[in-house]
Structure 1
Amino acid sequence: MASATEIALLRIAQSAVSNVVRHAAAGTVDVTLSYLGDQVALAVQLPAVTGSGS
């Protein structure tokens, strides 16, 4: 069975991706889970936007 931390990370990631789908005009989202010793970092980011800026 998953630990409370694993469940919390899953729910946070689901909520963040849901918010991107709902509120951002983005076709992709980057989700990164990193282990830093005894800590875990969850990053949810939109890719950098490049363009002419017209």
Structure 2
Amino acid sequence: MLTLIAILLVIWLVLAVLGFVIKGLFWLAIIGIVLFLGTAAWGAISRNSGS
């Protein structure tokens, strides 16, 4: 499960960077950041709950 969360975090981070690099894709950066933060929070909560 931790591997899946790490892979998702990397994907969201790449999307955010691409969104900032390519001027017309600013919306992609916003989506990438939101998904990155959501996945990180989900991973932290699931790790703390012991699942």
TM-score interval for Structure 1 and Structure 2 normalised by the shorter chain? 0.3 to 0.5
In the superposition, the TM-score normalised over structure 2's length comes to: 0.47
| Structure with higher RCO (Cα < 8 A, 6+ apart) | 2
Structure number, greater radius of gyration? 1
Q: Which has the higher strand share?
A: 1
